[in-house]
Amino acid sequence: MLIGFLKPVILLPGYDFSMDELSYILKHELIHLRRKDLWYKRLVFIATAIHWFNPVVYAMAKAIASQCEISCDAEVVKKADIGTRQRYSEIIIGIIKNQSRTQTAFSTNFYGGEKGMKKRIFSIMDTSQKKAAIVVLCLVLAATLGTGVVASATSLPPVHESYATYVLSSGEDP
């Protein structure tokens, strides 16, 4: 697991990893470090603390943690063949069998529950092109444009009734 904000450290269990296993583990954790995932987890933690009463925030936090791991896995096996993907999946499963289930809010580690692990393994083994990012980008763009149109339409100054009556009765061009 990766832990620490100012001086991040990768903690490994007291298990004798092969060089192959160690290279995948370190690559995965270094991707977390490069992407500053611990800082994102910190923001999610703060949002959860502020909105402790809202169950949607807890669901969001769980989804973010899951997607964070899936994203790192995708980067590790990017452009890899099916054999490499299978080996990486086996390494993850082997680590989970031998590791503690403890996890802190400000760390990254491999375990995400049985359902989360199935999702991760299916994602790792999926070699099809991912087009979800394009769909999400289009939705965000459409929402932004829609919000801008609505905001500009509602921010027009109101026409005073007396002015409108004067213009209509006098026949003048406003």
pLDDT for 22-41, tens place per residue?
999 999 999 999 998 888 88
pLDDT in tens, 46-101: 999 999 999 988 888 888 888 888 889 999 999 889 999 999 999 888 877 776 55
Q: Is 8 helix (H, G, I), strand (E, B) or coil?
A: coil
pTM exceeds 0.75, yes or no: no
Q: Which residues contact 48 (CB under 8 A, 6 or more apart)?
A: 57, 58, 61
Q: What is the DSSP letter of 173?
A: -
Distance between CA atoms of residues 29 and 7, nearest Å: 14
